[in-house]
Amino acid sequence: MMLNSKHRSWEIFDRIAPRYDMLNRILSGGMDILWRKRVIKFLPLGRKLQVLDLATGTADLVIELCKLDRVVAVKGLDLSKEMLNFGNEKLNAHPNGSKAYLEVGDAGSIQYDNDLFDVVTMAFGIRNTPDPSQVLSEIYRVLKPDGKVIILEFSLPKNRLIRFFYLLYFRHVLPILAGILSGDHEAYVYLNQSVEAFPYGDAFCDLICQAGFSKVRQTRLTFGVATIYDASK
């Protein structure tokens, strides 16, 4: 199930797209908003930026990027057309939404030229891809020399007590609650499985290094429930 879900996870997101934003806010207690705002703080200073956002979903991170004067343009890619439809609605209503352009695209096979973007971002998406190493290689390819990758992804707390209660919520409470609110229990069982199976922390930093990046860092958020990884080409 996990392998099939990873290859066609966009179908799951198509199904839950109408309630995706609401569920994110409820199930994370609003922390997902704060985590995305933290991503913005990792952007390079002192120059105008062309940004590519992968697994862009409903464009939450794209909107945060558009708020910055030094971000001149943002391209957002996602395989879920329904998620992009909701993202475009939000961008159309935002004063800086014209900076962004969303389109259907695969993070593992990016249809852009080499050395094109100053920054590539990705929030809560790389764990859903069939081959994270291939995604990292594609990110490296489309980044300009000295470009930067910033990835926000779920992880697991190191503290044993916090980890115990987090997994209790994540494995048993969240799928039931999300299933009731979304009408799609399977989608949030998949969420749990994908997070626990993902090579977070040092293991993911190793993958980033293997893709050719340097200055690889990890910043753990909210007791390690999520982590921001950043690195340079």
pLDDT at residue number 189: 73
80: Cα separation from own chain's centroid: 14
- Rounded to an integer, the average pLDDT of 191-217 is 92
Task: State pTM to two decimals.
Answer: 0.92
Query: Counting every residue, how long is the chain?
Result: 233
CATH number at residue 33: 3.40.50.150
121: Cα separation from own chain's centroid: 7
Q: Does a structural domain hold residue 61? A: yes
Three-state secondary structure call for residue 71:
strand
Question: Is the per-residue pLDDT at 65 higher than 60?
Answer: yes
Which tokens hold the place of 148? 């930067």
- Rounded to an integer, the average pLDDT of 35-41 is 96
Neighbours of 222 (CB within 10 A): 17
Q: Does a structural domain hold residue 167? A: no
pLDDT at residue number 33: 93
Q: Does a structural domain hold residue 182? A: no
Question: Is the per-residue pLDDT at 178 higher than 80?
Answer: no
Residue 67, domain extent: 2-159+199-232
Q: Does a structural domain hold residue 20? A: yes
Q: Does a structural domain hold residue 136? A: yes
CB 59 within 8 A of CB 87: yes
Question: Is the per-residue pLDDT at 2 higher than 60?
Answer: no
213-222 contacts at long range (C-beta below 8 A, 24 or more positions apart): 213/136, 213/140, 213/149, 219/38, 219/42, 220/155, 221/35, 221/38, 222/31, 222/35
Three-state secondary structure call for residue 228:
strand
Q: Does a structural domain hold residue 191? A: no
Please count the structural domains in the chain: 1
